[in-house]
Structure 1
Amino acid sequence: MQQTAWLSVDAERDFTRQFLLNDLSSNTQYEVLVEGRNSGAAVSLEGRFRTAPDAGDAEEINFVVVTCGDYPRRDDAENGHVIYDTMLKKAKPHFFVHTGDIEYYDKPDPYALSPALARYKMNRLFAMPYIRSFHNEVSSYFMKDDHDTVRNDCDPGDVYGTLTWDKGISIFEEQFPRTAPYKTVRWGKDLQIWIVEGRDFRDVKPAQGHPTIWGARQKEWFFKTFTESDATFRVLISPTPVVGPDRENKNDNHANREFAYEGNEIREFLGKQKNSFVICGDRHWQYHSVDPKTGAMEFSCGPSSDRHASGYSEKFLNEYHRYLKIRGGYLSVNVSRSSGQPQISFRHHAPNGNVRNLYQQQ
């Protein structure tokens, strides 16, 4: 058993306190008791999380990926986004990844034109019963994108009302613990994931070279660690599309013209890697696509509710698409050896858990 000392919360950081847990055993379900107190009252909360298996252990792993929350577009007024109840009860994931746009500071009810309103929107969303119950039970990784940093398609230095770029990043890091902006995590012998940062290192007008989303250091780290991995299946999880396709008028991700040079670098690299995949968030529709030039494969999980789905049309179905649906829900991934050989399965789900699309590969 591990136990921490009593520590003060930080009034300047939304009364939060983060604890780093060390020396945990692999492939273990842990129980957590969180206690809080002030001079007149005490509260407690119980939760659970699971640690990853060692790199040599061939364990079956289930995980889920979501994007694009937003409190006004929840599909259950009293309980919040239905996907969280569905994922907890039906998917039973070992871990969860949120690819960003957790909230929308630049959307109404209210517009988060100040740090106080940004925190209000996050607190309101995470007060919903479904999302609270889910995160009490599941190990989670949180990424950010534009709407939960400052505003739509934001770049370093952008400001929204009195919410500055630096403050937006600071608020994200107080609300969602993370040890580094980007990381790779091994989940047993057959699965390794890469979680990348898509906002902090952007340079749209570099003094030399081409516009970049990842920045030179993160890109070098990704190519190196991805190549060195001996995991059976390797999955890049990106807040924004790498393969696409996307709308012609967009200019914010690797599938768009502005970042085409870096996008081509990444797609060409991935196309040469065996059993490599991309999962992306950001887009308000679900898709499974394959780049016709490189063979790089991508799965877009779709927004967190059907009422959030928008911005594209099934009339745009083209040579990239293996599946396209203008709907919300979530993506689940299973890695197992149930057939005797390592196999990975990607499933696009409706909010109620119904499977809309299945792709499997050995």
Structure 2
Amino acid sequence: MKILGSLSLVLFLLLPNAHSETEQHAYQATGLKIGEVTPDSAIVWTRLTKRPERNPSDGPQVEIKYVGNKNDKARRKGTVEAVVFPSGTSVGDLRESVPGVGGDTRVRYRPQGQLEWISSPWDAVNSERDYSRQILLKGLQPRTKYELQVEGRGSGQTEPTSQLSGSFRTAPSPEESARVVFTVSTGQGDNDQDRPDGFQIYPSMLRLKPDFFVHTGDILYYDRLAKTLPLARYHWQRMFSWPTNLDFHRQVPSYFEKDDHDTWVDDCWPTMKSNYMHEFTFAQGQAVFLEQVPMGARTYRTFRWGSDLQIWLVEGRDFRSSNNAPDSPRKTIWGEQQKKWFKRTFQESDATFRVLISPTPLVGPDRSKKNDNHANAGFQTEGQELRDFLGSQENAIVVCGDRHWQYMSVDPKTDVREYCCGPASDKHAGGWSQDDYVEDYHRFLRVKGGFLSVTVQRIKSKPTLIAKFHDVDGTVHHTDTRVAK
């Protein structure tokens, strides 16, 4: 296994004046993220940090105490009694923490091979958004590879003290037939990494040279430790300072969706009450997500990648009814406004393949005791409405996350195809038996970690979609090929 080097060597260029003791320097130990790429625009997420590397993994950790000293199984219904830090420490001192610092960032970018850089203005990071800043790049050329340099400097400084390099390719224009490759993942637990420097799926995905990446949610898991707003941000700091994650996200643009665990807590909805999450609220979770990933204000959107591919990314937490409510025509996960938007834009699209990428399943099958997604009895009415709609559309595909196993299924009533990408590591896999192959639904089942890759291209002039299920090392375990009707 090749282990990526230290962050200061791999990702940072510390400029000559970076070690003056009289100045507060700014580093970029949580890297950069590139998002929402279109044929002519992209958003670059930047953040300034106090130190060039994350805190060591053997440092102090916070302890959560519960009323009545409840055991792990009972805690989700319990009440937090206290959040206890080791003596003399705070969030910034915890293991793998990456505290932020004030200062300015700018992005320099250019089409690959050109000499002159285009530069955004210097502007301050926002201390109320975890010292982050998002920069919109406009006026880009379609299907063009761009080089990036994100520069940072401390407050009051005039010269950069850190520089981070990256690259991305813009989407082809809607009229252009182009080969497009993207990868998809879900379920990324910080304690479930499978190599000393992070997660094996990231270098494996890089070898495919994807045009973009979609994270379907559960990017991290707040439940156990994120009992305050600073502790919630701590989860993002440690997840995106793993060297594998840093190296991937500086080279591949992403589209992010959120699910329950990276919004607030397991199976959550907006009006849900939970003493288990202590001071950290659902609304805070919504806001933190928008500050930590490069995206606009709306979490449901659609993107076109050439003449043969359009993707839809949907929101499954902000508008949903209570999971506990009885199923009915009014019970919803998406909300009426999003549902109308989806049906209208999906029908209006002339892309050959239309791919709905959902944080949670629409087809399944899922565990009988689950009651949180469209494949469950609790949302049967809306689930059937969406499956009926998708089944009436040509060349419509569903990709989903959330479930901790990989599968391909076909709904026996509507013939809707669903690919579930599986979790980010084998340690995170589970929740289904490998022996429980449901003949009416399953075409492929693998209770392990890995990722999904999707390639859309023309083979002998025919638009073709090829979906592949990979293990964490990139080995393909199943391939499904769809030739456009």
TM-score when scaled to structure 2?
A: 0.72
Query: 1:62 maps to which residue?
Result: 181
Specify the alignment match of 1:133 in structure 2.
247
Conserved 8 A contact 2:329-2:382: no
Partner Cα separation in structure 1 for residue 251 and residue 329 of structure 2: 45
Distance 2:136 2:458 in 1: 33
**Is contact 1:303-1:309 (8 Å) kept?**
yes
- Segments of structure 2 that go 5 or more residues without pairing to the other structure are 1-116
* Among candidates 116, 119, 136, match of residue 20 of structure 1: 136
CA distance in 1, matches of 2:474, 2:460: 24
Asked if 1:286 corresponds to 2:406, the answer is: yes
**1:200 match:** 318
Give the corresponding residue for 2:394.
274
Q: How does 1:45-56 map to 2 (within 5 A)?
A: 45-56=164-175
For residues 232-251 of structure 1, the aligned pairs below 5 Å read 232-251=352-371
User: What SS does the aligned partner of 1:298 have?
Assistant: strand
Measured in 2, the distance between the counterparts of 1:28 and 1:161 equals 47
Map 1:178-257 onto structure 2 (within 5 A): 178-179=295-296, 180-204=298-322, 205=325, 209-257=329-377
In our comparison, the structure showing a higher alpha carbon Rg is 2
Partner amino acid, structure 2, of 1:353: G
- Aligned counterparts of 2:233 and 2:283: Cα–Cα separation in 1: 15
Q: In the alignment, which residue of structure 1 is the partner of 2:467? A: 346
Match in the other structure for 1:10: 126
Aligned length: 357
Determine which of 272, 275, 287 is the counterpart of 1:170: 287
* Cα-to-partner distance string for 1:264-287 (whole Å, 9 max, x where unaligned): 000011111111100000000000
User: For 1:299, what is the secondary structure of its paired residue?
Assistant: strand
Q: Which stretch has the larger CA shift, 344-353 or 46-55? A: 46-55
* Displacement after TM superposition at 1:315 (Å): 2.3
2:85 aligned residue: none
- Per-residue CA shift, 1:65-84, capped at 9, x if unaligned? 0001111001012x101000
Distance in 1 of aligned mates of 2:406 and 2:129 = 35
TM-superposed CA distance for 1:148, in Å, is 0.4
- Alignment pair present for 1:85 and 2:211: no
Q: Which stretches of structure 1, 4 residues or more, deviate above 6 A after TM superposition?
A: none
| SS at 2:123 equivalent | coil
Q: Residue deviations 1:143-191, cap 9 Å, x none?
A: 1000001100000034521110110011111001211211110100100
Deviation, structure 1 residue 209: 4.1
What's the RMSD between the two structures over aligned residues?
A: 1.5
d(CA) in 2 for partners of 1:288, 1:282:
14
Offset from partner CA, 1:205-235 (integer Å, 9 cap, x none): 59x9421000000000111111111111110
Q: Which runs of 5+ in 1 are unaligned?
A: none
Residue in structure 2 matched with residue 301 of structure 1 by the alignment: 421
Aligned amino acid, residue 145 of structure 2: Q
Q: For the Cα contact (< 8 Å) 1:157–1:164, is it kept in 2?
A: no
CA distance in 1, matches of 2:393, 2:271: 36
SS in 2 for 1:131: helix
Distance across 2 between alignment mates of 1:339 and 1:162: 58
Work out whether residues 66 and 329 of structure 1, in 8 Å CA contact, stay in contact via their aligned partners in 2. yes
Q: Distance in 1 between matches of 2:442 and 2:459?
A: 29
Percent of matched pairs sharing the same residue: 50
Deviates more, 1:118-127 or 1:212-221: 118-127
TM-score where L is the length of structure 1: 0.96
Contact 2:468 2:478 in 1 (8 A): yes
Amino acid at match of 1:96: F
Amino acid at match of 1:63: F
Q: What is the CA–CA distance in structure 2 between the aligned matches of 1:121 and 1:151, rounded to whole Å?
A: 13
SS in structure 2 at match of 1:20: strand
Query: 2:329–2:381: 8 Å Cα contact kept in structure 1?
Result: no
1:209 and 1:332 map into 2 onto residues whose CA distance is 35
Map 1:114-129 to 2 at 5 A. Answer: 114-129=228-243
Aligned partner of 1:223: which letter?
A: K
Superposed displacement of residue 31, structure 1: 1.2
How many angstroms apart in 2 are the aligned matches of 1:178 and 1:157?
Answer: 25
3-state SS of paired residue (1:166): helix
Q: Displacement of 1:203 after TM fit?
A: 1.8
Partner AA of 1:69 in structure 2: Q
How far does the alpha carbon of each residue in 1:103-142 deviate from its partner, in whole angstroms, 9 at most, with x for none? 00114xxx11111111111111111111100001011101
Aligned AA for 2:205? Answer: M
Q: Quick one: distance in 2 between partners of 1:8 and 1:97?
A: 29
